[in-house]
């Protein structure tokens, strides 16, 4: 009996060659719509599905394969009474289903009108894929051109058929998840609110040698159709990225972009450099040039920046590349890197991974964190400085420079792990205390890190002050202005301490815990 293959694909990669190979092996090829036209034009012997069903394609192609001649041929269990029923209706078997689906996600991503998006919800395709996958013992199901060669084997093992069936169900599951997200009100294919049911539609985007430690397997996954600056960055020099490199580079780039947007909103628009260690900032600075910003960020904490990850907000040129000569870094990520800088990095710092940031598109606003047996989900903390209503609560007003430094320090502390305190002066961090289990310990670490540089600096805390101890510590170190959320029971005592010591204090009314 002649075997029959039904081929109907949106992604036509390799489909002509595949159909030609099947035909050469004696298969009868059935097809629909655009695939039928493409195969016919290439000279492949192909039969229209409408000839098999006895009905023309209807409703602009919405109805063409939803017919017993198609689904009966796919679902009939070989070697059972199903075959007699099939023959009694004059139908034959379909032994291979090669289908991939309408480009729903791509249609959403290009901003198409709602009517076009809805029209790109495939109905017949998923039905055929699921039918073939259910009956995979007798029917091969292919949803990926990478698997076409499997079908050309003389005999496809049962384990391989089962793998292809699982892949097919994953294909339709991801497709349904994208449709669900869109119909629930997302502007793209990722959730933009907290739904009752959240599907984590993840596909492997990159291989890594291991996770955080060598004994932990790890990989990098993409959520839906999202594109991210680190996930889709181009590595233009250096070694492949590690698991920790991805995590640190993502943290560095996010903070760098937040601060760059903050600078632009303030009308200063300086170059920003962020150095990160273990997802925490260790040196952050703003300057007129990338070279200047890098040198200031490096000098903010030369010890911690060693082996760190660095993000900059402007293109890295040859001068900036040379300025990094004496410091060992794991990753550098920038919006662009000049060719001479790339060549210099490749020759002089072959272990440094140099990344050109990719686009940030179709990104969910949700922050998803694993728990044992579940996930904690929240909207991302994306509140900008301009959304705050800073209130000076002390007798002394901040100077113009202190206001600029308070704004800068607030942007940095928002990107640091709690408890976090940042000291800054003239657009550079001079002391950071992050990830501390005690608020006063975070402040003590920041002050100790700053040393004499605390003189004339400002202090920002992501959490309020329940006591006046941080105020007195800061004043003793030479800090002149403090920014914190406010809202503690002892706020009057804290404000009184500032007035006693001659400090300015600003309440933001907005805390920024980051665990």
Cα–Cα distance between 247 and 417 in angstroms, integer? 14
Torsion sign, CA atoms 254, 256, 262, 267: negative
Question: Among this protein's residues, is 425 annotated catalytic?
Answer: no
Q: Among the options 134, 167, 277, 515, which is catalytic?
A: 134
Kindly name the residue from 171, 278, 348, 414 that is annotated as catalytic.
Answer: 278
In the block, tokens 């292919």 appear at: 142
Has 134 been annotated as catalytic? yes
Helices (H) and strands (E) in the chain, counts: 18, 21
- Give the single-character DSSP code of 352: S
- The span from the CA of 189 to the CA of 225, in Å, is 7
Query: Number of C-alpha atoms within 13 angstroms, CB side, residue 455?
Result: 3
Between the CA of residue 291 and those of 272, 287, 333, what are the distances in Å? 10, 8, 14
Query: What burial letters (b/e) apply to 141-163, b meaning 16+ CB within 10 Å?
Result: bbbebebbebbeeeeeeeebbee
Of the candidates 101, 110, 69, 250, the one whose C-alpha atom is nearest the C-alpha of residue 175 is 101
How far does the chain reach from its first CA to its final CA, in angstroms?
64
Say if residues 454 and 424 touch (Cβ distance below 8 Å): no
Q: Which residues of 368-403 are buried (b: 16+ CB within 10 A; e: fewer)?
A: eeeeeeeeeeeeeeeeebeebebeebbebebeeebb
In three-state secondary structure terms, 279 is coil
Q: Which helix (H) or strand (E) covers residue 392, if one does?
A: strand 391-392
The CB density around residue 205, as the number of other CB atoms within 10 Å, is 16
Which of the residues are catalytic?
Answer: 134, 278
């Amino acid at each position: 009996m002649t075997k029959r293959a039904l081929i109907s694909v949106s992604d036509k990669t390799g489909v002509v060659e595949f159909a030609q190979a099947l035909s050469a092996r004696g298969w009868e090829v059935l097809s629909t719509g655009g695939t039928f036209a493409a195969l016919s034009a290439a000279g492949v012997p192909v039969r229209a599905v409408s000839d098999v069903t006895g009905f023309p394609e209807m409703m602009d192609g919405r109805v063409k394969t939803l017919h017993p001649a198609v689904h009966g041929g796919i679902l009939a269990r070989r070697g059972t009474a199903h075959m007699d029923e099939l023959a009694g209706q004059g139908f034959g078997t379909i032994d291979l289903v090669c289908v991939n689906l309408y480009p729903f996600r791509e249609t959403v991503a290009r901003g198409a009108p709602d009517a076009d998006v809805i029209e790109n919800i495939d109905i017949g395709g998923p039905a055929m894929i699921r039918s073939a996958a259910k009956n995979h013992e007798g029917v091969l199901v292919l949803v990926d051109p990478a698997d076409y060669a499997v079908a050309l084997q003389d005999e496809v093992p049962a384990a391989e058929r089962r793998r292809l069936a699982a892949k097919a169900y994953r294909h339709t599951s991801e497709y349904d998840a994208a449709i669900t997200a869109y119909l629930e009100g997302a502007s793209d294919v990722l959730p933009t609110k907290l739904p009752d049911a959240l599907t984590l539609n993840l596909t492997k985007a990159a291989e890594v040698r291991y996770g955080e430690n060598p004994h932990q397997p790890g990989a990098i996954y993409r959520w839906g159709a999202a594109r991210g600056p680190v996930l889709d960055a181009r590595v233009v020099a250096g070694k492949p990225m590690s698991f920790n490199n991805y995590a640190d580079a993502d943290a560095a780039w996010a903070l760098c972009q937040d601060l760059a947007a903050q600078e632009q909103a303030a009308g200063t628009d300086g170059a920003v450099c962020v150095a990160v260690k273990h997802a925490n900032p260790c040196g952050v600075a703003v300057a007129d040039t990338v070279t200047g910003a890098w040198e200031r960020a490096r000098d903010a904490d030369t010890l911690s920046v060693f082996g760190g990850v660095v993000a900059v907000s402007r293109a890295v040129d040859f001068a900036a590349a040379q300025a990094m000569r004496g410091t060992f870094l794991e990753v550098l990520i920038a919006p662009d890197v000049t060719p001479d800088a790339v060549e210099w990095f490749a020759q002089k710092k072959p272990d440094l991974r140099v990344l050109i940031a990719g686009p940030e598109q179709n990104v969910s606003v949700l922050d998803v964190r694993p728990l044992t047996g579940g996930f904690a989900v929240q909207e991302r903390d994306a509140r900008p400085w301009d959304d705050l209503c800073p209130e000076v609560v002390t007798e002394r007003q901040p100077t113009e420079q202190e206001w600029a430094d308070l704004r800068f320090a607030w942007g940095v502390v928002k990107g640091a792990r709690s408890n976090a305190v940042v000291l800054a002066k003239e657009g550079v961090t001079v002391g950071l205390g992050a990830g501390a289990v005690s608020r006063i310990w975070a402040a003590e670490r920041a002050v100790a890190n700053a040393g004499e540089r605390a003189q004339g600096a400002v202090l920002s805390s992501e959490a309020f002050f329940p006591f006046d101890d941080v105020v007195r510590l800061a004043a003793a170190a030479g800090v002149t202005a403090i920014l914190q959320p406010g809202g503690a029971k002892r706020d009057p005592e804290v404000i009184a301490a500032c007035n006693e010591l001659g400090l300015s204090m600003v309440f933001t009314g907005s805390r920024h815990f980051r665990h």
